[in-house]
A and B are shown apart, each in its own frame.
Chain A
Amino acid sequence: MTNEPVDVLIIGAGASGAAIAWSLLETRMRILCLEQGDHLPDDAFASRRADYELARYSDFSCDPNVRRQPQDYPINVEDSCIAPVNWNGVGGSTINFLGHWPRMKPSDFRARSLDGVAEDWPIDYATLEPFFQVNDRNTGVSGLGGNPAYPDYEPELPPIPMGRLGRRLAQGFNELGWHWWPSDVAILSRDHDGRQKCVNAGTCDLGCAAGAKGGTNFTYWPMLERAGVELRTRSRVREILVDPATGLATGVLYHGADGQLHRQQAEMVILACNGIGTPRLLLNSTSAEFPDGLANRSGQVGRNLMFHPLTGVSGVFDEPMHGHEGPMACSILSQEFYESDPSRGFLRGYGLHSGRSTTPMTFALGGYGIDKPIPWGAAHRRMMDEVYPNIASLTVVAEDLPEEQNRVTLDPDLTDGDGIPAPRVHYRLGENTRAMLKHGEARAAELLTAAGAARILSKGDGDGVWWRAGWHQLGTCRMGVDPQRSVVNEWGRSHDVKNLFIVDGSIFVTAGAVNPTSTIQALALYVGDRIKANIATLFD
């Protein structure tokens, strides 16, 4: 390891960091990626152990505040109704994401123009479309072409099995005349590109030991390392440095695997730390020029945090649903209620995603639709014997709207293992979101009943959002053409620091109501393309 200057320094080896590194390969620039976590070796996957369920509640928890591994940073969630979840390591949260791969839709980029809420993006679906295609090819995507809810495109691989659960729900949707479609998934339905197809393990959240799920640990990073991109693991960036004379970023200070503080110089710095890690690092990078945090002259860094608030409803059917067999979250999805219809009492919309019942422990501790431990005593026996085997579920995935008070700040006391101030999340549900979730719960129950469920289970506590559901962390450094109202421009470059780019979900302007990784990576590839196209005048 040397600390010689590099051309491109990428911070974070997750979805977006890997994608933009791939995009920039052809420039022949020297690329270094600093990642605070490590590789996940094959024998470390919990799903290779018989007691794999235990890992979900300890060292493989999706919640860093539970996991508490050396590479994790704590997140203060005292002022939030949703706990952010993630993975820190090579692959980032694509290690434990569920591989659901819907794209954002054309109307998602025009929420202000079409519906009078939020902001329009400075780019549109058509701009990203070619990058969706490239990213799908690099990732390996299974699905079914011809979905009437999207402009036409064709996933490369056939859909994964819907299973009894998916077929039963599909029949219910058809009964009601509602839209549904087999899910696009970053999960291989057949062997592809040297990777093994999905074995239906049902433990996507514990990392895919088969390599069938399109985490960047299996897709981009093997290509990148073979091509000479340097990936420096167990390297946690403390601060981005700026030259006061030029106003340009000069590199970073980071804590290395040797426990020492290092200085790494770079011509260009690219942030890819997700919607909480990126504003945290910018807010921790203060100087005389940027007393409120780097690239924060607008005051927008950390603001407009959007999740996808989730709730779930389960139906109890008259036959076993084998819910533990197959990808955890992916079978079919409905976008019947995705586009705005003001008569529903809210703007924008939500998706209904099929969900499986997972394993006995996960169900007992608060599986689908319940979000709290199931009853004990005689009622416990009935739940495990009569309900657990026979449930199929729907997740309501609601679009969040950007609100300035929903934000990431720095905690005045809490720090990570290197003493770097930790993020604090301030988040509450907006009224539009509440109305949307309520509508979605009712429609999910209606669908499950139409599909033949004899009994409906839901969280049912009035504010029914799942707690540990902050998978999608968006909007905290949003893009835009107005430097007063956005952090980066229409191609991801900081308005304030001309050689600083952001490519993760923090630059989203709106959230849509779909899992965002497909769009995050398409966006990263688009920013990479713009960097290459503007290379001669990049820092002007």
Chain B
Amino acid sequence: MNDMLNLVLNCLIPAQPSRSVPGGGEVGVEEFLGNASAFDPDPQQVVATIMTAVAQLAPEFAGLSDTRREQALAWVETEMPDIFARFLRLVYIGYYGQPALRPLFGVGAHPVHPGGYAVQPEDAATIDSLTAPVRRRGRIYRDHGGDHDE
């Protein structure tokens, strides 16, 4: 079951080996799915339903090429869109909820408080230069009497 589930997860979130981005089935998402009751009323039933459908609709799933696996899962999605949507949501939460993966997408793994991110404010000259065309155009609001100067 777990091997098949991980194949499905790898199909949903494919790896990107050149950037060391793991696939969905390589980082413990299957364990998350077993303990995801904070994110779905019945995650285990969701997983079981999807995996049963995969087994029934594509019993040879493990032996298929990547392209054929995608086609098989697309078939499952078409057959049961609501439960597939819940499954996909849980998979994304389980995968991207892992802080260690965030740097692969340019985001820090750290808690964002207290450290946050260093962002330099624009200097006064930059702001002045950028806003100059807007100021040159002049007032653009209406007052009570309806003036709308430009």
The distance in angstroms between the C-alpha atoms of A171 and B134, with both chains bound, is 11
- Is the CB–CB distance between A50 and B99 below 8 Å? yes
Known pairs A146-B131, A150-B141, A376-B13 / 11 extra A-B pairs, C-beta < 8 Å: A53-B97, A148-B137, A159-B127, A162-B122, A174-B134, A203-B112, A335-B140, A339-B148, A360-B101, A378-B70, A381-B13
- Is the CB–CB distance between A59 and B96 below 8 Å? no
Q: What are the 7 A-B residue pairs with the smallest beta carbon separation, nearest first?
A: A199-B116, A361-B96, A201-B112, A209-B113, A50-B99, A325-B117, A107-B142
Interface 1/0 per residue, B138-150 and A, CB below 8 Å: 1111111010100
A54 at interface, CB cutoff 8 A: yes
* A336 nearest CB neighbor, chain B only: B140
Q: How far is the CB of B117 from chain A (nearest CB, A)?
A: 4
- Is the CB–CB distance between A167 and B130 below 8 Å? yes
Partner of A200, one of B89, B116, B140, B143: B116
Known: A209-B114, A360-B105. A380 touches B140 (CB 8 A): no
- Is the CB–CB distance between A200 and B92 below 8 Å? no
Partner of A381, one of B14, B121, B141: B14
Partner of B121, one of A53, A110, A160: A160
| A-side interface mostly | loop
What is the size, in residues, of chain A's interface with B at 8 Å between Cβ atoms? 76
The distance in angstroms between the C-alpha atoms of A388 and B119, with both chains bound, is 19
A329 at interface, CB cutoff 8 A: no
Q: How far is the CB of B141 from chain A (nearest CB, A)?
A: 5
B54 at interface, CB cutoff 8 A: no
Q: List 6 A-B contacts (CB under 8 A).
A: A107-B144, A148-B135, A189-B121, A360-B102, A364-B96, A385-B21
- Is the CB–CB distance between B106 and A179 below 8 Å? no
- Is the CB–CB distance between B143 and A365 below 8 Å? no
Q: How far is the CB of B9 from chain A (nearest CB, A)?
A: 10
- Is the CB–CB distance between B106 and A320 below 8 Å? yes
Partner of A174, one of B70, B127, B130: B130
A385 CB contacts on chain B under 8 angstroms: 16, 19, 21
* B143 nearest CB neighbor, chain A only: A106
B135 CB contacts on chain A under 8 angstroms: 146, 148
- Is the CB–CB distance between A49 and B111 below 8 Å? yes
Q: How far is the CB of A102 from chain B (nearest CB, A)?
A: 12
The distance in angstroms between the C-alpha atoms of A365 and B95, with both chains bound, is 11
Known: A107-B142, A326-B119, A360-B102. A144 touches B131 (CB 8 A): yes
Interface 1/0 per residue, B117-130 and A, CB below 8 Å: 11111100011001
* B:12-34 near A, CB below 8 Å: 12-14, 16, 19, 21
Partner of A201, one of B66, B92, B116, B120: B116
- Is the CB–CB distance between A365 and B70 below 8 Å? no
Partner of A322, one of B19, B106, B116, B122: B106
A105 at interface, CB cutoff 8 A: yes
Known: A107-B141, A339-B142, A373-B85. A50 touches B119 (CB 8 A): no
- Is the CB–CB distance between B133 and A174 below 8 Å? yes
The distance in angstroms between the C-alpha atoms of A105 and B146, with both chains bound, is 12
The distance in angstroms between the C-alpha atoms of A269 and B97, with both chains bound, is 45
- Is the CB–CB distance between A106 and B88 below 8 Å? no
B58 at interface, CB cutoff 8 A: no
The distance in angstroms between the C-alpha atoms of A144 and B127, with both chains bound, is 9
The distance in angstroms between the C-alpha atoms of A181 and B134, with both chains bound, is 8
